[in-house]
């Protein structure tokens, strides 16, 4: 008999900060290593060391490259981690881009806070630096999708395609003859850019995301909604600001708008993409064509249709440009990035529209806009919001309740334990009931820092 301890160090009764630590005598594995976003009490945990010894860990396994799944890696390395960080080639490339961008933003915001004296901390410091990221990248090691990898005598893992974003996978791990399945973030069945997720066939211990565990995405005609917003923007001689995640969502929006233009559904309104990270991710799509549906020709035509903003000086030129236009800028939950400059300068105008796309975590600026906020705090000052706010949920990169149930439905056995993670508590509770009703499986919702003992 072997004892395994499972530590839930993030994405427990909340959506962000994914970290699941498996501790056995033979091997010690961290599945994902994400930053907390949104709620201040959670964000404060980003500054704290983990309650486990990072120097003991043999591996970090990355399901995909989003910040809430990889953004804590430089801090883990700072705490003594010297093992291997495994992920698919596109995941490691996305993680590199996101970590470098995250460090750059943190350094810039610390510098701005010190200059304008709006931080409580003196001096304000970045969470980590570009130098920290450069050192972290030395531990990256690429794996092939679908190939079983031996991690120790009694442990192997396979990374399997699950949509969501380019490079994204779920993990199928064999540990002492038991099957541990970590869903990561499950993608959509009918995604414009990505193929449907592969599905697990067996799971003794299942860790499944529940971001949209309480609901299905609405049946929205995305093209029609975008057409109407473009028409309204032109009529008001204004600007349509679309805060967007740099990975997959931004490319999906570009594709949707290019497709509408190609079919003469919208006029040739200038479209600006202002996301250095998003621009880099476009190169990942170009480099890994087998991971998405776009042909090289479609990619090239779409890219040529968009105005790429490459410098902060060009951000201001775009703001000062008097033409009606669409600006897609990071970040998707309005937590940082170039979109803050556009909102700070233009959201107090009636002619401005803001389109939120996908999930907005608790206490993010995106969620506040969604809930009707009339002002937002940006760089220490309150900005009035007169812009009309719209929301498109069906462009989410996360599977909804029905799609999650379908993904799990291929499992042939009854798992010994099902852990619901990566969701707000209300979504998890609703999903727990649905799983019990549909599959007859009992689920557990772990609390933050809960430790579960498993005898193998």
- Which DSSP letter does residue 197 get? P
Question: Full-prediction pTM beyond 0.75?
Answer: yes
Report angle CA 253, 256, 257 to the nearest 5 degrees.
Answer: 85
Assess whether pLDDT exceeds 90 at residue 280.
no
| CB 102 within 8 Å of CB 132 | no
d(CA 144, CA 311): 35
| CB 267 within 8 Å of CB 234 | yes
Domains of the chain (ranges; CATH) run: 3-215+397-455 (3.60.15.10), 222-392 (3.40.50.10890)
d(CA 136, CA 133): 5
Assess whether pLDDT exceeds 80 at residue 119.
no
Whole-number pLDDT of residue 120: 74
Strands (E), 312-416: 325-329, 352-357, 375-378, 381-384, 388-392
**pLDDT tens-digit series, residues 374-407:** 999 998 899 999 999 999 988 888 999 999 999 9
| CB 76 within 8 Å of CB 44 | no
Whole-number pLDDT of residue 89: 98
Torsion sign, CA atoms 248, 250, 255, 260? positive
| CB 69 within 8 Å of CB 33 | yes
How many other β-carbons are positioned within 10 Å of the β-carbon of residue 437? 8
Strand 375-378 relative to strand 155-161, pairing: unpaired
94-96-102-108 Cα dihedral, nearest 10 degrees: -130
d(CA 269, CA 287): 29
Helices marked H in 322-424: 339-346, 365-370, 401-408
| CB 69 within 8 Å of CB 27 | no
Secondary structure of residue 300 in the 3-state scheme:
helix
DSSP symbols for 2-47: -EEEEEE-SSSSSSS---EEEE-SS-EEEE--PPP-SSHHHHGGGG
Assess whether pLDDT exceeds 90 at residue 441.
yes
Whole-number pLDDT of residue 342: 97
Whole-number pLDDT of residue 312: 87
**pLDDT tens-digit series, residues 183-232:** 999 999 999 999 999 999 999 999 999 999 999 999 899 999 999 999 99
CA 94 to chain centroid, in Å, comes to 11
Whole-number pLDDT of residue 52: 98
Q: How confident is the model at residue 73 (pLDDT cuts 50, 70, 90)?
A: very high
Listed in sequence order, the residues at least 6 apart from 82 whose beta carbon sits closer than 8 Å to its beta carbon are 55, 139
4: closest CA among 178, 157, 151, 158? Answer: 178
Whole-number pLDDT of residue 317: 96
Assess whether pLDDT exceeds 80 at residue 411.
yes
Listed in sequence order, the residues at least 6 apart from 307 whose beta carbon sits closer than 8 Å to its beta carbon are 270, 271, 272, 273
């Amino acid at each position: 008999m072997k004892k395994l301890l499972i530590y839930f160090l993030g994405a427990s009764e909340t959506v962000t900060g994914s970290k699941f630590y498996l501790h056995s005598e033979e091997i010690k594995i961290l599945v994902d290593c994400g930053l907390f976003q949104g709620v201040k009490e959670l964000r404060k945990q980003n500054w704290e060391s983990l309650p486990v010894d990072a120097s003991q860990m043999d591996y970090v396994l990355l399901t995909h490259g989003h910040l809430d799944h990889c953004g804590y890696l430089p801090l883990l390395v700072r705490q003594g981690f010297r093992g291997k960080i495994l992920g698919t080639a596109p995941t490691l490339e996305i993680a590199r881009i996101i970590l470098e961008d995250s460090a750059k933003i943190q350094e810039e915001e610390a510098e701005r806070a010190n200059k304008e004296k709006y931080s409580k901390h003196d001096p304000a410091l970045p969470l980590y630096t570009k130098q920290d990221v450069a050192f972290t990248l030395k531990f990256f090691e690429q794996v092939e999708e679908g190939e079983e990898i031996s991690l120790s005598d009694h442990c192997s893992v396979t990374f399997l395609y699950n949509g969501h974003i380019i490079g994204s996978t779920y993990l199928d791990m064999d540990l002492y003859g038991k099957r541990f399945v970590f869903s990561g973030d499950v993608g959509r069945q009918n995604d414009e850019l990505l193929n449907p997720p592969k599905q697990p066939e067996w799971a003794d211990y299942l860790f499944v995301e529940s971001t949209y565990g309480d609901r299905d995405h609405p049946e929205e005609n995305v093209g029609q909604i975008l057409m109407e917003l473009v028409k309204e923007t032109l009529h008001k001689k204004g600007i349509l600001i679309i805060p967007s995640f740099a990975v997959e969502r931004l490319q999906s929006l570009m594709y949707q708008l290019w497709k509408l233009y190609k079919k003469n559904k919208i006029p040739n309104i200038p479209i600006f993409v202002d996301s250095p990270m998003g621009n880099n991710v476009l190169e990942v799509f170009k480099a890994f064509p087998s991971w998405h549906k776009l042909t090289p020709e479609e990619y090239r035509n779409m890219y040529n249709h968009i105005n790429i903003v490459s410098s902060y000086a060009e951000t201001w030129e775009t703001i000062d440009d008097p033409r009606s236009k669409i600006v897609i800028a990071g970040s998707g939950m309005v937590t940082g990035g170039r979109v803050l400059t556009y909102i700070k300068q233009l959201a107090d105008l009636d002619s401005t529209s803001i389109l939120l796309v996908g999930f907005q975590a608790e206490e993010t600026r995106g969620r506040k806009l969604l809930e009707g906020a009339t002002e937002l705090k940006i760089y220490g000052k309150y900005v009035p919001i007169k812009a009309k706010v719209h929301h498109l949920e069906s462009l989410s990169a996360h599977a909804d309740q029905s799609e999650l149930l379908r993904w799990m439905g291929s499992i042939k056995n009854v798992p010994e334990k099902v852990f619901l993670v990566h969701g707000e508590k209300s979504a998890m509770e609703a999903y727990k009931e649905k799983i019990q009703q549909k599959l007859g499986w009992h689920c557990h919702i772990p609390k933050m820092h809960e430790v579960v003992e498993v005898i193998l």
